[in-house]
Structure 1
């Protein structure tokens, strides 16, 4: 599958991209040029937990919807203050899985005056691919690993061509709610979670690996020992399987309060980081990946490209 990355833009366009995810809601304000290059101006993140309980109830909860709605309102105000006139808000796993998801997303668009799009699993994978490659091509056969709150997307491709893309019902929020109820997680529950991940991973034959999104960037920041989050240091960091194993062993054996201390740069990810690490380790072991190269360019940058035509 070829991913069209050339934008029909006569000059650079400033756009707003909003990613309404299962665990977080994020904003990117960026300038997109005629070749699809994305120059980041402002980036924001809020942990909004839209997918809380969706795995069990198949519905978005009222408090979660209000958290996202308030966050989107704040983002739209900021983006317009920066000169943005075109904003695209996309939704992924939680909204896909919820019976009231489409009506919620429609309301976001009408209340805030933004274009909206509900991404299928395949579209989520291809949009992440666009984002990762927005700064330049990648080696043929590269595996892009995107661990979200409700799903994980695995995309194999190179240059501007996707060879294989799968979206799996493996997310850090989903697996935490389904398997990891105790604090710290019980050994038998961790084993069941890992077995579930192994069961769902498909047969792929990737080359080098790139990792994106909050689980991987947070683990990278801890591995680097950062006192303050530094995207320029996280981007390009080689996160080894040995390092992930060590972080997983450290995080799974302590209480939530201690995990929050360890993840002091992003303590709001502490409730779901163990499940995220289980997924990442499962992927690395299944495909014999020694290390993932961490990328700060992700689905947000792909949404920014899509926003040009929104």
Structure 2
């Protein structure tokens, strides 16, 4: 575990360089470069993870003038066929969005050694064959969870009443576990006595809003003042419950403040930025294989979105100060805890 952690952390200093290289539109290794983006299940319009990645695809295509295509994964059985279709079609770079692509990337990448493969939320350590044409993208979701948990707990403390907040996850996948683990730790930092309820909707589709709404309503009945959705499209149901019951909602991955005045803030994860950066590097033939790239608070890959104007300015200032401390490495957050 220590060896793996060091392998990822060693890449921290590279992201600033990546951003500089990515901003360039210099000559590519070849003019007919093409990129394919393979979604995970949960809808292309999930308003978070898949939608962000696809927005990155569209943006980079326009920025550097390349041909791109999205392959939509409607069900789990589509993952492998979609990866094979993209690779067989000759796309120079294939970006797979989501942890559950790991097994299939380990099958496909070695079969197409002249093409590049990138996996969002898929560390290289999940590919036992160790293909040299594979690059992993990982995020410090626990940092984003920590920030919104801290702000939610400060807001609940200032409001008074039952000191309870909650989180709804779709399933116990690594990214979701990290988000919720950080959320709990951040809340306890702000108010050690606060109760944090965390439940899974057990939605393998990541799109069943009714399941997440049911879980959120149960949490609100137990006194939750803020519901953090960590469930993609399913989580929109949790935010709907928060709106109906007039408690705070907290978005995930994308800035979901546009959903209404009930939104406290969102834990942001720049999936779109990762897609843009990796594609530009591949276009310039500068995408390193066999490594993981880490996106976190320090390099702008993780943070929190727009905050409700109803939030106390002093509490927001504390959250921003905390963010700076995390970026400087002054606060250590456990990626996972038991809950």
Q: TM-score, normalised by structure 2?
A: 0.34
Q: TM-score, normalised by structure 1?
A: 0.36
Larger Rg: 2
